Structure 1
């Protein structure tokens, strides 16, 4: 990633800790297939990017803050997508825009996006999406026996937790409610 986008990785939209080096212990198509679900499955970075950009199109009309929030969080998710594509390639896989187990190997489609109807509904949906992503990453951390991949997935989870906090702050500010806050 070029230096023009580093602000998204060290700013308020992501955890301040460094990302581990993107490497693997060796080729492993099973691990690559697991990461394909994180990459472009039903609950994936590709889904998050598209959902947050869709919400951004509405939120930017409500407030500059909300518009920027969803735009910048989607940029962090793009960085996660790039990391996962790199890992999948290093594992011997092919990062096409398809999941594996969650999509039965079919290509990604727009039905995976939670579109929502209102600002509050969309923010709650975004929080739910982050929690589901964390759950998937934790499942894959348990299933993958590669210390490099585990470190990378744990680092991505830190960003997802930042997103939950940011979405909850926006939900409180614009809707007057809190929803599924982190402990």
Structure 2
């Protein structure tokens, strides 16, 4: 994926300024592909994040433009992560269909993975938790995977997730006093 492609999807203030590494792998590895399926579309995944944050935006009162902008732009960044993971899974010999691995016992992704919430605060707190779980899962994968290219990809995605943690913390401070 070219820098121009990344640039088209990067949102200033909603992702790290660090460049993304080239998407490549040492070779086919179905085990690694299967590990990444949870990050891609498992219970606490990029796909869950995208759908959860978009739902939170769609169900938002017009008076919360700042939150709307945040949820939409973070979703776009998470979509880029999905694309990166899908391409990595393919290179590893996997098929990036919408299902998890161990987190969902291999089941297909479903809307039950989304925390819909009934208030801005419950949603923001759930979103923050989802980011923490994603970061934890990426670090777990990094400790297992012995491919430096995949490790670089996951470490770069973590940088964006840490930006999202900061944004959600700031929003919680502002809206959940």
Both proteins in one fold, TM over 0.5: yes
> What's the CA shift string for 1:87-144, capped at 9, x where partnerless?
0000000000001111111100111111111001100000000000001000000010
Q: Is the 8 A contact 1:56 1:71 kept in 2?
A: yes
Q: Which runs of 4+ in 1 moved over 6 A?
A: none
SS at the partner of 1:140? helix
TM-score w.r.t. structure 1 length? 0.91
> What's the CA shift string for 1:1-42, capped at 9, x where partnerless?
795872652510000000010000000000000000100101
Q: Is the 8 A contact 1:126 1:167 kept in 2?
A: yes
Q: Is the 8 A contact 2:125 2:172 kept in 1?
A: yes
Q: Is the 8 A contact 2:23 2:149 kept in 1?
A: yes
Residue 150 (structure 1) shift: 0.3
Q: Is the 8 A contact 2:42 2:103 kept in 1?
A: yes
CA distance in structure 2 between the partners assigned to 1:53 and 1:86 by the alignment? 23
Gap runs ≥5 in structure 2: none
Match of 2:30 in 1: 29
Residue 168 (structure 1) shift: 1.1
Residue 171 (structure 1) shift: 1.3
CA distance in structure 1 between the partners assigned to 2:11 and 2:75 by the alignment? 14
The alpha-carbon distance between structure 1 residues 60 and 154, as it changes in their structure 2 partners (threshold 3 A), is farther
Q: Which has the higher contact order (CA 8 A, sep 6+)?
A: 2
CA distance in structure 1 between the partners assigned to 2:26 and 2:6 by the alignment? 28
The alpha-carbon distance between structure 1 residues 86 and 60, as it changes in their structure 2 partners (threshold 3 A), is farther
Residue 59 (structure 1) shift: 3.0
Match of 1:55 in 2: 56
CA distance in structure 2 between the partners assigned to 1:88 and 1:23 by the alignment? 10
TM-score w.r.t. structure 2 length? 0.94
What is the correspondence of 1:124-135 to structure 2 with a 5 Å cutoff?
124-135=125-136
CA distance in structure 1 between the partners assigned to 2:8 and 2:86 by the alignment? 21
Residue 60 (structure 1) shift: 5.3
Match of 1:97 in 2: 98
Match of 1:13 in 2: 14
